[in-house]
Amino acid sequence: MIDLDAVVAIDFHTHAEEPCGSHADDGYDELQAAMGKYFHSRNMQPTIPETAAYFRERRMAAVIFPVDAERETGYRRYDNEEMATLAAQHADVLIPFASIDPAKGKFGAREARRLVEHFGIRGFKFHPTFQGFYPNDRMAYPLYEAIVECGVPALFHTGQTGVGAGMPGGNGLRLKYSNPMYLDDVAVDFPDMKIVLAHPSFPWQEEALAVATHKPNIYIDLSGWSPKYFPPILVRYANSLLKDRMLFGSDWPAILPDRWLADFETLDIKPNVRPLILKDNARRLLGI
């Protein structure tokens, strides 16, 4: 188990890109190559053991997850059970989240309950643009109900995405699904579900801050961007109204934690707020 008193930070946003290290090329490699170009990253497909080794060396813990987008994209989804089993082999640093396409309805809800009960899943990841759905679509509600029953958080991509960026037609992915305002409905309908808005939500940053300020079950992870590019209003809210609900996240492997943390050091964040963002808020949210 993770010794949270020993780790210096909890990265709330890392991707399990290659759980078994042998992805069949169904077009996903082309997508990953485009993402690597967008993020200037040389290794977009680290294995789970490689990911664990990176974080262990830096005395950090990490929330890790796949994304189930096979219905919308045609890319084979990673097996949640396989990912959880591999993550369990590195339980000193990895905190596994699962991903289920909300279009799977009650079948997906049953899978969610099983994953939490039998595989140690600690939360669920959604990517509305990659999965092709509005977060407030009622088809997702059976899955949300299961998440609430299990008492674990839900992490939603918000804002623009590097997935498909620069490809013809953005590889068919539509940014409109990831406006954080749609999660205002979800926060109302599921007030007991802890909801994390992933990333500075460009171009809807003020919408994200408005929803998080109004709804106490909303958190924001700061992944996907170097902190040196954070808009001033985001820094201001992180230092004040939302200091207890901001979370460190890198977006590994697209953005390395080393780079994120180095840039975060130069940000005008109050000394008493830094430990909240880097570890304490995530520890409280996860209940660990």
State CA 85 to chain mean position distance: 19
Number of domains in the chain: 1
Q: Name the amino acid, one letter, at 86.
A: L
Which ranges of the chain does DSSP label H, i.e. alpha helix? 28-39, 48-57, 70-73, 80-88, 105-119, 128-131, 141-150, 182-189, 205-214, 232-238, 257-265, 274-275, 281-286
Q: What is the pLDDT of residue 21?
A: 45
Helices then strands, counting H and E runs in the chain, come out as: 13, 8
pLDDT greater than 80 at residue 175: yes
Q: What is the pLDDT of residue 74?
A: 79
Any domain includes 2? no
Question: To the nearest 5 percent, what fractions of the chain are helix, strand and coil?
Answer: 45, 15, 40
Any domain includes 1? no
Q: Which CATH number does the domain housing residue 256 bear?
A: 3.20.20.140
Domain span holding position 198? 9-286
- Where residue 20 falls among pLDDT bands split at 50, 70, 90? very low
DSSP 267: S
Asked which of 16-20, 212-216, 268-272, 276-280 is least confident by mean pLDDT, the reply is 16-20
CB 123 within 8 A of CB 155: yes
Instruction: Calculate mean pLDDT across residues 125-149.
Output: 97
pLDDT greater than 90 at residue 214: yes
pLDDT greater than 50 at residue 257: yes
Instruction: Calculate mean pLDDT across residues 222-251.
Output: 97
Instruction: Calculate mean pLDDT across residues 83-94.
Output: 96
- Where residue 195 falls among pLDDT bands split at 50, 70, 90? very high
Packing angle, helices 105-119 and 80-88, rounded to 10? 20
pTM: 0.91
Any domain includes 282? yes
